[in-house]
Each structure stands twice: as structure tokens, then as C-alpha cells.
Amino acid sequence: MKGLHSSIWFGILLLAVFAFGPGAAWGAEKGSAPLAADLVRDGQPIDLSSERYAELFRELRDQHGFTPEELLRMFAGVSVSRRVLELMDRQHEALPYYKYSPLFITEAVIDEGRRQMQIHQALLERIEQEIAVEREIVVAIWGIESRFGQNRGAFNLFQTLNTMFDAYPRRRDFYRKQLIAYLLLCRDNQIDPHGITGSYGGAFGQTQFIPSSFQDYAVDFDQDGRRDVWNSIPDVLASIANYLHRYDWVFGAPIFRELGGTLKDERLAEAYRKGRNGLIPWQEVRRLQQVNLPMPPEGRDLTVVGLELDGGGMRYVAGYPNLQAITKWNNSNRYAMAVAELAALLNPQRGTAPPAASSPAP
């Protein structure tokens, strides 16, 4: 997942991704298990003599070549951020799409996105030629993730990753891997691990990559010898494109197609309920919904996405493999649709906006 988010934009994205349940933020209800944030105090020193840290240090030393002196220097005085745990503890549910998309798709964002596309036209053309991802998709993700690099998060990343590893058992294994990946990327790129800020979920830079995503997908597109998703616009934009490319993005292929306001068969409804896992052959969608649909690349399966409308009702779309690739970046179909629809507005000349649903020829 990729969060943003400092100052106003941090608050906006938080609302965009989560609609919080009453009373969930500040503690467990009577009789329920305590939340992670209830078990610590802010600034509480982390016990580096614990078995989990002893095992971590052994791996960092034996498998990755960190010296005991380096580890002592890096981890000295590390403490828990209670605020990180409070944000992770919140009970939430996704906002409906009619409330979600306007937080990202605004006139200001569209205007700035088009301006950035003009500024970086030559770079984006090169990315299209070499990585084969459309410029408007790259810029849309850039805008949603960090407001074109303006907002990168205000949480100390080293403290955040240690907080999650030490004090958030449900995701401990995941954040152990992220902490190791983070230390490796800092060493490889000659970065002070205490000097990076990011989101409360551990994402950083203009791309809002988590450390393992940086390892796997960041590229040195300006060829200066380092992968810089903080300050190098070529590396930032090419890394976004590379992520989608690695998940089989197909240049010029459909992203989604409209299916109408109702689903005409239970098999389509079942695919919708399964979300990203509800794959269904495109011919079946075409036949059951009685709409014309172009063939996906390699005849791959589609998903069925439902988007809530203001005032009630639903808008259903067929999610093509390119939309599915965006959900590998962020596993929300709402996020993927916001990217796709913002991209269509950034570059309407491309013709990426899909036509309305129509009945198939007899």
C-alpha cells in the first residue's frame, strides 16, 4: 500500500482511504482486547535486548554484513511512536467512490498535472518509449501519491518501522522485512537512516514506495549511479512506470469499460463481491451483461468493479488487466479507478476515456 502525507494532504488522504468508526481511534471498548497504542506510551524506549531484536541484529550482521558498531550507532535511543500505532489501530471502512474520487480529481490537480506533463514532456516521451506506460497514468499516480512531490510524509521512517516491528504484532513479520530492506537501501544509496520522513505506514519519497517496493521497482533513470525517488524526477517517474510494467501493463490497452448501473447475472455479481480476486472471462462478461467489450491483451480475464453513486445506485465497470496492474500498486479498486479517471482528464487527446456501454450487435 502507498500512503502520503504531511500537513493538509496527509489529512485528505487519510479521509480518502479510511472512514473511521466511532470511538475506534482512542482505545478499546470495555471488554475487548486492548489496541496496540493502549499498550505503550509515546517515546517509550524500545528494548533492544529482546529476543526479536537479538534475532534481527544477528541477521543484519551475518547475512547483510552490518557490524555491531554500526547497529549500535543506528539503533541507539530508538523509541516508539504512539501516534503511528493510533493511526494503524483505527477501525475503518472505505469511503464510497462519490466521496473518494473528488478528493483526488479536482480542477487544481488536473491543472497542475497537465502543467507537469508539459514541463516533463521529453522525459515522459522517453519513459513511454523505453518502459511502455502512458505518461498520463504515471503523472496521475504521482499526483495522488505525493501531490507531484510536494507532500512526502512527516513521520520519521526509522522510528515508524521500528515501532511497527516492536509494538504492532499483527504486522510484525511484514515490518521486520521492511526494516531490513530500509537499512539496505540506506546503505546502498549512502543515506542516513534517521534522515528520511514518510507516511505512518512506512512509505516514502515522491513515489511513496515502501522499502521492499523501492528494492524491487525503483530505477536509476537519470543514470547518476543511484536510485533517487526523493529528488530526481526522472527516477521518480520512471520508477512509477517500472512498477506497472513489472505487473504486465500493456501500452494502449483498455483500462476499464462501462457495464451500466445493474449487473444482469448472478455470476457477475459474485465476481463483483470477490473484488480483485473475482476474475471472469471477458467473453462471459460480454455475453452476460450484453455489452460490447474489446478483447483484453492475450484474452486475459476481467474483474467487475462497483462504484457508489451520490444519491444511491451503482456504476459498474469491467476492470481490464491494466486496471488490475494499478491494484498491485494499491489494492483498492477505488484507488485504481481514481488513477484511471484522473489520467483520462490529464490527457483527453489520448482517447483513454472509454465509451459508454452499448448492446452487442445481434
Mind giving me the DSSP string for 210-247? -HHHHHHH---TT-SSS--TTT-HHHHHHHHHHHHHHT
Domain coordinates of the chain in residue numbers? Answer: 19-93+154-198, 97-144+222-246, 256-350
101 CB contacts (<8 Å, ≥6 apart)? 334, 337, 338, 341
The per-residue pLDDT for 34 is 85
Which run of H or of E encompasses 259? Answer: strand 256-260
Torsion angle in degrees (nearest 10) through CA of 313, 317, 319, 325: -60
Amino acid 316 reads Y
Helix 121-131 to helix 107-119 angle, to the nearest 10 degrees?
A: 80
Structural contact between residues 256 and 318, judged by C-beta atoms closer than 8 angstroms: yes
Q: How far apart are CA 91 and CA 87, in angstroms?
A: 9
Q: Per-residue pLDDT for the chain (362 aa), expressed as one digit of tens each? A: 443 333 334 444 433 433 333 233 333 444 467 889 999 999 999 999 999 999 999 999 999 999 999 999 999 999 999 999 999 887 445 789 999 999 999 999 999 999 999 999 999 999 999 999 999 999 999 999 999 999 999 999 999 999 999 999 999 999 999 999 999 999 998 899 999 999 999 999 999 999 999 999 999 999 999 899 999 999 999 999 999 999 999 999 999 999 999 999 999 999 999 999 999 999 999 999 999 999 999 999 999 999 999 999 999 999 999 999 999 999 999 999 999 999 999 998 875 555 444 444 33
The per-residue pLDDT for 351 is 53
Looking at the structure, give the CATH architecture of the domain made up of residues 19-93+154-198.
Answer: Orthogonal Bundle (1.10)
**Predicted TM-score of the model (pTM):** 0.86
Q: How far apart are CA 184 and CA 211, in angstroms?
A: 9
The per-residue pLDDT for 9 is 42
The per-residue pLDDT for 90 is 74
The per-residue pLDDT for 354 is 52
CB atoms within 10 A of CB 339: 27
The per-residue pLDDT for 14 is 39
Structural contact between residues 280 and 268, judged by C-beta atoms closer than 8 angstroms: yes
CA atoms within 13 A on the CB side of 250: 15
The per-residue pLDDT for 350 is 77
